Amino acid sequence: MAINKELLKGTTTLLILQLLDEGDKYGYQMVKELENRSQSLFTLKEGTLYPILHNLEAERMIEAYWEETEKSRKRKYYRITKNGKKLLVDKKTEWLAYSKGVAGIIGGGAYGELGSC
């Protein structure tokens, strides 16, 4: 089932911050982890991810650093900042309130069956 891009757009920052709250990651690693953990429901293109990362970095929600890999290649990693952690809490609170409201209208709770369509 493909997810409407407008729905994904509203949650991408939340998902990225959550991944980085769990540990530092590089871009492609985030793309693959989102895809794997969502059972391929969230398939971000790197061209979508990097502008979001750059905006979060400009807003000081995350910071980047370079690290050398075992093959002597440099890889750019991202980590969440204190401000990013605060934003993550706000985004989670907002998402939980939103999903609770939607579930109250369509029924079945967040993971339950849909009501009559």
- Residue 76, domain CATH: 1.10.10.10
pTM, 2 dp: 0.85
* Domain presence at residue 23: yes
Any domain includes 112: no
Domain count, the chain: 1
| Amino acid 110: pLDDT | 53
Residues 6 or more apart whose Cβ sits within 8 Å of residue 75:
26, 66, 67, 68, 69
Strands (E), 1-45: 25-26
Residue 85 resides in a domain: yes
Q: What is the pLDDT of residue 113?
A: 59
When pLDDT is averaged across residues 20-28 and rounded to a whole number, the result is 98
Asked if residue 13 is part of any domain, the answer here is yes
Q: Specify the pLDDT at position 50.
A: 96
Look at residue 109 and tell me if it is in a domain: no
- Within a domain: residue 80? yes
